Amino acid sequence: MPGRGGRGRGRGRGRGRGRGGYRGGFQQADHTSRAPDEVEIALAPDDLDINGNASSYFMGNVTFDQHFKGQEANRDRYAAAMDVMVKNGVEIPLNARARSLAAAWARNDTDLSEALLRLKGSFGLVEVLKAVTLLDAGRCARTVERRIRQLQIQKTPVKSKTLGKLKSDLDNLLVLKTSAGSASGSVSKHVKKWVQTLTADELEFYALHFPTEPWKKLADICHFKPEKDFHMLPWFLPFCFGASAPEGSLVLHCRNVTAENVNDLLKEYAIPYSHIKPLTDKLTDESKGRVAHKEVKLDTALWYYEDLQCKEVDQAIQGRLDAGHKVTLATGKLMERLLVLRMIREGISLQSLDEIYFKWDWERLPDGPDIFERTPDHSKASFFQSLLIHAEKRLQDVNLPLEAPIVVMGDASGSMEVAIRTSSIIAGILTAVTSAKLVFFDDENREAPFLPKTVEEILNLAISTNTGGGTTPAASLYPFYKHKETVKTFIVVTDEEENGEVEVDEDGTKTKYLFSKLFKRYYEEVYPAKLVFVSFLGQTQEGQMVTELKEAGFQPLQYKFDKNRPDLSKLDRMFGLMSTETVTFDEEMDHVEKRIKTEGLKKVFEKLKNET
């Protein structure tokens, strides 16, 4: 049986990941919505071993009981795994975060629960409410059971629909019910203590950007007192229960903003762009400049640059960069923004060919659009060079030493037309940070025109790579098989729509091979290489090539991106997950575990909070 694909050596870091998106904690720029996990990791929960593979607790559908047992078996190793994963940019799934917190509370482990809640980028209202709900499920189930019994013995007939709804609620609660712990007074005290650490700005952010229902649910369980528990913003809890925000508050003004008053309000108040985005077409250039200048994070102006684009915004962004304001967009998203800015400056259409031709008025203009006509204007996005310098420093911080030699195979077939620029950026970054060889395939193998080493070269690659022809990934593998060239890690960036074979001359006989069969030959005859797939797939697709490789006994690592809407902000998460497959990831956990034992959990996580 072939060994597991995708393992490498060395410490992989996806540094500089963005913290603009809300992941439970307080974050000022919520640019992304929660999406289904895009990374597929093989996991056997029954085989969980906190000492042997601690990171697995935070990468799959691990139950509350398993988190509880893992913490009991080796709390320090468990905490060390979370520390290293957060540090390496791995986005831990919501369920894992909530269950880890619930397990710590159920174990009365104050040190661990408080350490987790210090990580505001990973633990916030969503995680706290979910953890409390888990622990409260047993009490709620007993309440529903009593109600069902009362209805069943009463003399008045009960509607079957009413009883059915209660039984369904009971079933759901019994699924959530934990084997240990409850939402006791002790847990409520922990929640109240956490609430009291929130600042007025953070609570105002919740009031501005998030529904009030979660706070109402949490208040019903923990019995908050507005003046005591929310002393930093006493009107917040009444506001959650329907009271109006006070006169003069930003929350009240945001709720009253209209197309008629938005420009006047922006002269007085720093209204978050998320609240006025639907009114963008009503904003003057001066107002757009104020938005770019006053947004708490510079990320927002960069994220929505196409909507806000004007000279005033360019000046505001340049001024903030000159003043040392940080750009905290994820590395992948920053590269995507730079590509968009470069295309704007070069006069390259941001639309895909499909979009251009679909929307074209063919009856009025039968000759069609001249999509290759460019009108460069380097006065646009005039801050581009300053941002490029920032991105170059960020790229140097990405360290992903997979086991070398490494080959990156990029899919340039016709089916990749929508995602080619995104996939080229990914291939370019992987090539640059791992010093890999880069090849492309369509019907045939073709060498990359150059090996990108800088941000500018990665952008050049993304703009210059064209698609066409069929999908024959075996064509790029064949030269390494033919020349018996040792490659220890193959990274394949593709939509997996393989439809072509490569011919191999075997003693005068021509035999055709798809990728999986040729890789098996390479694995057995040349070198047992590791496989990593970066797959551009539809939401419900599994991927043809990875499926065939698994059927052949291989287990390649697979990172999925939506083919129609590839999101480069997920790239840093991919880097982080790649890092968990490296040998020194365990070595780093060993180091952190020793520090926890000698320095204490509080001190180690305080340092982690300051680093992330």
Q: pLDDT at position 40, please?
A: 40
Q: Has residue 492 been placed in a domain? A: yes
Domain count, the chain: 1
Q: Has residue 459 been placed in a domain? A: yes
Of 123, 93, 274, residue with least CA distance to 198: 123
Rounded to an integer, the average pLDDT of 294-303 is: 95
- Residues near 43 by beta carbon (within 8 Å), at least 6 away in sequence: 56, 59, 60, 61
Rounded to an integer, the average pLDDT of 515-519 is: 96
Residue 399 clears pLDDT 70, i.e. is over it? yes
Round to whole Å and give the CA distance between 121 and 103.
20
Q: pLDDT at position 47, please?
A: 65
Q: Determine phi and psi for 532, rounding to 5 degrees.
A: -130, 125
Round to whole Å and give the CA distance between 393 and 334.
12
Tell me the pTM: 0.76
* The two structure tokens encoding residue 493: 């960036």
Q: Has residue 605 been placed in a domain? A: no
Rounded to an integer, the average pLDDT of 526-531 is: 95
Strand partners, 590: none
With beta carbons less than 8 A apart as the criterion, state whether 395 and 428 touch.
Answer: no
Local structure of 509: helix, strand or coil:
strand
Q: Has residue 27 been placed in a domain? A: no
Q: pLDDT at position 175, please?
A: 87
Q: Has residue 257 been placed in a domain? A: no
- Residues near 251 by beta carbon (within 8 Å), at least 6 away in sequence: 204, 207, 208, 239, 245
Task: State pLDDT tens for residues 61-120.
Answer: 889 999 999 999 999 999 999 999 888 878 888 999 999 999 999 999 999 999 999 998
**Number of Cβ atoms within 10 Å of the Cβ of 48:** 20
- 17-31, 48-62, 310-324, 431-445: which has the minimum mean pLDDT? 17-31
Task: State pLDDT tens for residues 150-201.
Answer: 888 888 888 888 889 998 988 988 988 999 989 999 999 999 999 999 999 9
Which domain does 503 fall in, by range?
396-585
Q: Has residue 224 been placed in a domain? A: no
Work out the pLDDT band at 466, boundaries 50, 70, 90.
confident
Residue 24 clears pLDDT 50, i.e. is over it? no
Average pLDDT, the chain: 85
Of 50, 40, 70, 13, residue with least CA distance to 580: 13
User: What CATH code is carried by the domain that includes residue 518?
Assistant: 3.40.50.410
Rounded to an integer, the average pLDDT of 507-514 is: 88
One-letter amino acid identity for 463?
I
DSSP one-letter string for 102-124: HHHHHTT-HHHHHHHHT-TTT-S
Q: Has residue 42 been placed in a domain? A: no
> Is the link from the previous residue into 211 a cis peptide, with omega within 30 of 0?
no
Q: What percent of the chain has pLDDT over 90?
A: 56
- 337-341, 453-457, 561-565: which has the minimum mean pLDDT? 561-565
Q: pLDDT at position 26, please?
A: 35
Q: Has residue 546 been placed in a domain? A: yes
